[in-house]
Amino acid sequence: MNEVLTAMRDRRSCRQFKDQMPAAADLDSIVEAGLYAASGMGRQSTIVLKVTNRDLRDRLSAMNAAIMGKGPDFDPFYGAPAILVVLADKTVPTHVYDGSLTMGNMMVAAESLGLASIWVHRAKEEFDSPEGKKILADLGVEGDYEGIGHCAVGYWGAEKPEAPARREGRVFCAE
For the chain, helix (H) and strand (E) counts, in that order, are 6, 4
Residue 140 lies in a domain: yes
Phi, psi of 47, deg, nearest 5: -130, 160
Asked whether residue 98 is domain-assigned, the answer is yes
Residue 132 lies in a domain: yes
pTM of the model: 0.96
d(CA 76, CA 165): 27
CATH code of the domain covering residue 104: 3.40.109.10
Please report the pLDDT score of residue 62 as a whole number: 97
Q: Residue 15 domain-assigned?
A: no
- Note down pLDDT in tens along the chain; length 175 residues: 799 999 999 999 999 999 999 999 999 999 999 999 999 999 999 999 999 999 999 999 999 999 999 998 999 999 999 999 999 999 999 999 999 999 999 999 999 999 999 999 999 999 999 999 999 999 999 999 999 999 999 999 999 999 899 999 999 999 9
Q: How many domains does the chain have?
A: 1
| Beta-bridge partner residues of 51 | 83
In a domain, 72, yes or no: yes
Report yes or no on 174 lying in a domain: no
* Element housing 97 (H / E): helix 95-112
Nearest to 37 by CA among 89, 109, 90: 109
For residue 146, being part of any structural domain is answered with yes
- Residue 91 domain flag: yes
> Pick from 122, 49, 35: which is nearest to 82 by CA?
49
Range of the domain at 143: 3-7+28-154
Distances (CA, A) of 75 to 17, 19, 48: 11, 13, 21
Query: What is the DSSP track for 31-86?
Result: HHHHHTS--GGG---EEEEEE--HHHHHHHHHHHHHHHT--TT--TTTT-SEEEEE
What SS3 state is found at 172? coil
